[in-house]
Structure 1
């Protein structure tokens, strides 16, 4: 590409020089020849006038008296009727430029000049024009090389960027080159790199989130199946445990569907107006066997009859994560307290354990951040699930730990719902 650009630029410059240089040579040659002819004519007229003046005043007309009237490099012949021709200077050889003038009394003057002098002047002019043309070609070469580098290097760089994108490196380079067309291509490539980066991040997060989120429902399902095996002699108990297990399967299916939906478009949501009590009751029932096996209890307190806006499956997953963390890292009773603040419903999950280490604080929601050798994904995924439907998950108190899930609370008309009242603690 660089060679083609340099060659095309030089071709254009050479054509321009050829057209205008040839025209300039023709014009300058004619100008020099015309100027030389006018000079010879002028000298012939002057010499003829001098001869007429001398004859009129009776002065002698000879070579000595007229020698000062003729230039040293010219030859003149004066012919006076009745007298011998008077020659001034040396007759030039070869081609000459001549001019003949006749005086008032019949005397004639012929002035000649060799064309070699004109040829020398034309040659000097041609040398000057040729030197200017060479300088123009040199300048064109320098400009062509610079322009080729200016255009060639960005194109090479853009090709490398495209190759990096194709090889799976989506980092945008944010390089601009001062050429609008090339900068536009760079903008498109950077935008594509950012989109590809988001897609790859979503895929990686999907794999990490799926491995973590599926573990909790599968653990609960496994415990329910164990309960079925343990109560195989009680038909009613078997039906109850089987129904709960089916609920776990449905919830697991919902989690998988939500993960796939978020992987395609993290902004998509399926928020609805739902009964918060049903979700809390479901979670308390699901985690009852795990808490009893640990010799612990889960209790519910606070305002009942709350409705919230969100995705029930996502809210269940957030609460499941908080309860599991309390059972795994906390101690004592796990409490679920519901209340209303403004137009939001709040679910607080707490326990009597040591809480969040002081060095972690709010960083406990960051991915890969864990204080007790866990994956560090649970709270980060829970926060993302809460924010996907317009809610938020916060750490209100580090010791004892108090995690709060804030959810919008409004009815279809957009007015805040009034709770039915507070209830005392109810163990599960």
Structure 2
């Protein structure tokens, strides 16, 4: 591209120089020739006038008296003054070859001849032509230098933009924020930087989805594996009550599979648009009860208990599967990092319903505080994703997840209260 740009600029300059150079040579040649003819004629007229004035005054006409010289004009080479009855006065060498000549005759019979050699005129034209060629050569050299600089100015940014596009294609979405002072190239750079930002956000969303999915699927899969273990243990008995328990456990396991499917769908939806929600009015008691029943075997195995208290018959606005996942994350954290009995308490505050989860463990480190909801922040060498994802799920449906107290730890899930529930309870 640089070569093409340089050759294009040089071609334009050469055409312009050729057109104007030839025109200038023609004009200058004609100007020099016309000037030579005018000078020769003027000199002849001047000499006639001078000779006549001398003759009228009765003075002697000599070379010195009439001021005849060929050194005054660079073109005039030969002057001849002829007077009646006298010897002609000649100044200069009579040129050979073609000449430019002017002859003037006076009132007293004097004849003046002035000649200039055409070779001198051609020499002058040649010198002018050399000057024009030198100027043209300087113009071409200057144009070549400018063409190289301009080609570099245009080609270097294009090479840089190509490298940026190649980096984007290789998976490096960092914008370079380089501008080149050329509006068109800067526009391309803006588009590439915008594309880099969008690709970076997409890659971040994909990585976040993978991390969220791996973390969020672990909790229901753990609960599901425990249910299946109980089903296997119950299936070994032949008593009718054992078969009833197996059926019940299988039903719970199936519900957990359905919730797991809902979690996957929810994560995929949030990865495309985190603001997309499917909030509906639902019975909060059912979700709380389902979570307690689901986690009882795990707590029983750990020699701990999980209980609930507070107001019942509450209806909230949200996505039941997302609310269940948030509570499951809080319950699992209490199981993994807490101690003693885990309590779920439901209450009402204003137009919101609150589910609090607390345990008797050491609580949240004072150095962390509310930072426990930040991604990769953990006080127990875990992934640091659980609470962050739980808060995102809560906020997707217009709720919020907060740490009300660090010791003992109290996490609270705030959800909007259903309008029908508000009407039934008056002011709530």
User: TM-score with structure 1 length normalisation?
Assistant: 0.90
Distance 1:202 1:74, change over 3 A: same
CA distance in 2, matches of 1:419, 1:296: 36
SS of 2:3's equivalent in the other structure is: helix
Asked if residue 352 in structure 1 is aligned to residue 355 in structure 2, the reply is no
Are the counterparts in 1 of residues 167 and 173 from structure 2 also a CA contact under 8 Å? yes
Residues 53-92 of structure 1 aligned to structure 2 (within 5 Å): 53-66=53-66, 68-72=67-71, 74-92=77-95
Structure 2: distance between partners of 1:371 and 1:113? 109
The CA deviation string for residues 53-78 of structure 1, in whole angstroms up to 9 with x for no partner, is 12222222344533x23333632112
Q: Which residue of 2 aligns with 1:283?
A: 291
In structure 2, relative to structure 1, the CA distance for the partners of 1:178 and 1:408 (3 Å cut) is farther
Counterpart of 1:261 (choices 269, 272, 280) is: 269
Segment of structure 1 superposing worse, 20-29 or 371-380: 371-380
Query: How far off its partner does 1:205 sit?
Result: 2.1
| 2:193 aligned partner | 190
* Map of 1:44 onto structure 2: 44
Structure 1 consecutive aligned stretches of length 4 or more whose deviation exceeds 4 Å: 415-422
What is the root-mean-square deviation of aligned Cα atoms in Å? Answer: 2.3
Match of 1:367 in 2: 375
Distance 2:350 2:172 in 1: 46
3-state SS of the aligned residue for 2:407? coil
Q: 1:239 corresponds to which residue?
A: 247
- CA shift for structure 1 position 296: 2.1
What residue is the counterpart of 1:178 in the other structure?
181
Q: Which runs of 5+ in 1 are unaligned?
A: 423-428
Cα distance in 2 for partners of 1:308, 1:206 equals: 27
1:136 to 121, 139, 155: 139
Unaligned runs of 5+ in 2: none
TM-score for the superposition, normalised by structure 2:
0.90
Conserved 8 A contact 1:9-1:144: yes
Decide whether the 8 Å contact of 1:303 with 1:421 is kept in 2: no
| CA 1:418–1:26: 2 relative to 1, 3 Å | farther
Alpha-carbon distance between aligned partners in 2 of 1:91 and 1:176, rounded to the nearest angstrom? 73
DSSP 3-state at the match of 1:55: helix
Matched with 1:341 is: 349
Aligned residues: 419
| 2-structure distance, mates of 1:173, 1:105 | 95
Is 1:145 matched up with 2:144?
Answer: no
| CA distance in 2 between partners of 1:239 and 1:254 (Å) | 23
**Alignment-derived partner of residue 212 in structure 1:** 215
* Offset of residue 250 of structure 1: 0.9
1:409 aligns to 2:417 (yes or no):
yes
CA contact (8 A) 1:305 1:420 kept: no
Per the TM alignment, residue 207 of structure 1 is displaced from its structure 2 partner at its CA by 2.1
